[in-house]
Amino acid sequence: MGAPIIRVAGAEIPRTPADEILEAEAEAAAFEEVVHAASASVDEDGSGAVLVGYGITGAHLSTRRRRPSKGEADARVQRVAEEKRRRPASVPAASAQPVIVKPPIRKLAKDLGVDLALVEPTGLAGETTRDDVIRQARQASVFHNIETPEWGDERIERIPVKGVRKAIATSMVSSAFTAPHVSLFVDVDATRTMEFVKRLKNSAQFAGVKVSPLLIMAKAVIWAVRRNPTVNSEWTDEEILVRHFVNLGIAAATPRGLIVPNVKEAQAMSLLELAQSLEQLTLTARDGKTQPAETQNGTITITNIGVFGMDTGTPILNKGEVGIVALGTIKLKPWVTDGEVRPRMVTTIGASFDHRVVDGDVASRFVADVASVMEEPALLLD
């Protein structure tokens, strides 16, 4: 008496489609909390100028989804199943979740001719990212011959080296094989810079003026030059000319090739004046109207490779200068803050220097100063 009669082994209860939807909704909601906190103040302007602006990855979600009840999940499964039964075999099934796309990403997809319904999202909360759209565009160009340019009958195309292209080649060879380059890199939490850019865009003072992270980078370089003046020098063999003014060069990719127009006397400009000058420089370069005088007498250069989706690089010095700074793309990444991993907007700053003039300690201090401003733009108020 009291002895067990039967023992029942533990059995795993089969998972239903409704259970899977409930679990997916819970995971998406958890991720969404993180993305929402990190993205709430991020710039959503996707117009993207070649020199002064670019989109960012990571979707800003203005609302949080409520986890559905068991009955709602069952109903969703039934609706999806019924839709599949009614749809002809030739029509692809619709996603159970709506497509989450930020306005600048949607514009990018339109510009690239990408159907967002065909893009597989990889964002933390199921959103479609910039990388997703670009990947789909590349796949389309590979698999659809109609979008692939023809090579033509000639096996070799001959392009005369003259004009701007010849001048670029001469300058780059002279710089690369004359000045001993040394390059440094640092990762930067640029979250506050993105917040600052958004505040400027919403301010009445900057109404109608193009504002981007490059503006803050430009001001940061000017600030760092004042603290480390030898990076703003020129080597002449007989002497080093330390300039106490900044003609800030901005590398510009134009239909005619790479040019580096510069903002004259940038050190004397307010933030608004600098923004206006950068915008005018951009428009002039894009229209192919940059005059030779606008590319001469530069003292230090910024190259904004982030507009092309690049994280960093080792830029070659502009002839006659001893410093050049590269701004990489700004992305939402995990970042350790106060001992905790949090999503932050992160970029990489790279820089090259002429080692005949700029020693390692000066180069390091200069890059650290630029990084400090990108991490805390309030330093510009000092």
Specify whether the CB–CB gap between 295 and 251 falls below 8 A.
Answer: no
**Please, is 330 exposed, middle or buried when counting C-beta atoms within 10 Å of its C-beta (0-12, 13-18, 19+)?**
buried
Task: Please give the Cα distance from 27 to 50 (Å, whole number).
Answer: 37
Q: What confidence category does residue 50 fall into, taking pLDDT thresholds of 50, 70 and 90?
A: very low
CA angle 345, 346, 352 (to 5 degrees): 150
Structure tokens at 17: 């489609």
Model confidence over 251-280: pLDDT tens digits?
988 877 888 999 999 999 999 999 999 999
Task: Please give the Cα distance from 43 to 141 (Å, whole number).
Answer: 30
* Residue given tokens 């967002």 in the structure block: 116
Model confidence over 118-137: pLDDT tens digits?
888 888 878 899 888 888 88
- The alpha carbon of 88 is separated from its chain's Cα centroid by a whole number of angstroms, namely 41
Specify whether the CB–CB gap between 180 and 356 falls below 8 A.
Answer: yes
Q: What confidence score (pLDDT) does residue 114 get? A: 86
Q: What is the mean pLDDT of the chain?
A: 78
Task: Please give the Cα distance from 279 to 287 (Å, whole number).
Answer: 12
Task: Please give the Cα distance from 47 to 107 (Å, whole number).
Answer: 8
**Please, is 50 exposed, middle or buried when counting C-beta atoms within 10 Å of its C-beta (0-12, 13-18, 19+)?**
middle
Q: Give the number of C-alpha atoms closer than 13 A to the C-alpha of residue 89, restricted to the C-beta side.
A: 0
Q: What is the mean pLDDT of residues 338-349?
A: 94
Higher pLDDT, 234 or 63: 234
67-81, 106-120, 138-152: range with highest mean pLDDT: 106-120
Q: What confidence score (pLDDT) does residue 75 get? A: 65
Q: 371: how many CB neighbours lie within 10 A of its CB?
A: 20
Long-range contacts of 11-17 (CB under 8 A, 24+ apart): 16/77, 17/77
Q: Where are the domains of the chain?
A: 17-146, 163-381
Task: Please give the Cα distance from 252 to 303 (Å, whole number).
Answer: 8
**What CA–CA distances, in Å, run from 110 to 101, 137, 167, 190, 331?**
12, 11, 36, 28, 21
Model confidence over 220-233: pLDDT tens digits?
999 999 999 999 99
**Please, is 300 exposed, middle or buried when counting C-beta atoms within 10 Å of its C-beta (0-12, 13-18, 19+)?**
buried
Model confidence over 161-212: pLDDT tens digits?
787 778 777 877 878 777 889 999 999 999 999 999 999 999 999 999 999 9
Q: What confidence score (pLDDT) does residue 337 get? A: 87
Q: Active-site residue 355, yes or no?
A: yes
Q: What confidence score (pLDDT) does residue 323 get? A: 96
Which listed residue (36, 60, 181, 355) is catalytic? 355
CATH number of 163-381: 3.30.559.10
Crossing angle for the helix pair 17-39 and 70-86, nearest 10 degrees?
110
